Amino acid sequence: MAIERTLSIIKPDATRRNLTGKINAKFEENGLMIAATKRLHLTRAQAEAFYAVHSARPFFNDLVEFMISGPVVAQVLVGEGAILKNRDIMGATNPANAAPGTIRAEFAESIEANSVHGSDSAEAAAQEISFFFAEIEIVA
């Protein structure tokens, strides 16, 4: 399988509970390398732009409010099949449906406050990585 890059965000519910180390350990234990990392507090405009794909969804406004409610950690993860692998490590969107051992099963508070974001396709990964990082900041 090819080496891929994917964009991860540790969401405000997880930074608030000081879980970034435990979440990073899940990535590393499962063979993903953290090739770039940046802690930031998104503005409303940034959160709306990042989640523009969901702008017509009923949960969009709540999602934006949640994503600006505290700091996030944006990361580039690198590894074999990193996009799908990260989705497996994250678990299902709703933690009630997330497989045991996944980040969302262990740490998520709700379907919204679900601790992590992960790119869902190669196209999304490229676009989302460029949203947060310059090439010079990504060191695999």
Binding interface with ligand RTP (CB under 6 A): 54, 59, 63, 93, 111-112, 114, 117-118, 120
Active-site pick, 27, 117, 119, 132: 117
The alpha carbon of residue 1 and the mean position of all alpha carbons in its chain are separated, in whole angstroms, by 22
User: Is 87 annotated for ligand binding?
Assistant: yes
Q: Which residue has the tokens 């802690």?
A: 39
In the complex, what is the shortest distance from the CB of residue 114 to ligand RTP, in angstroms, rounded to a whole number? 5
User: Is 57 annotated for ligand binding?
Assistant: no
- Would you say 59 or 131 has its CB closer to ligand RTP? 59
- By DSSP bridging, strand 33-40 and strand 3-10 are unpaired
In the complex, what is the shortest distance from the CB of residue 25 to ligand RTP, in angstroms, rounded to a whole number? 19
User: Is 11 annotated for ligand binding?
Assistant: yes
Cα gap 101→23, rounded to integer Å: 11
Minimal CA–CA distance to 22: which of 117, 138, 104, 133? 104
Give one DSSP letter per residue of 52-94, joined into a string. Answer: GGGTTSTTHHHHHHHHTSS-EEEEEEEEETHHHHHHHHH--SS
User: Is 93 annotated for ligand binding?
Assistant: yes
Does the annotation mark 117 as catalytic?
yes
In the complex, what is the shortest distance from the CB of residue 136 to ligand RTP, in angstroms, rounded to a whole number? 26
Q: Which residues are catalytic?
A: 117
Pick out the residues of the known binding site.
11, 59, 87, 93, 104, 114
Mark the binding-site residues for ATP, compressed into ranges.
Answer: 11, 59, 87, 93, 104, 114
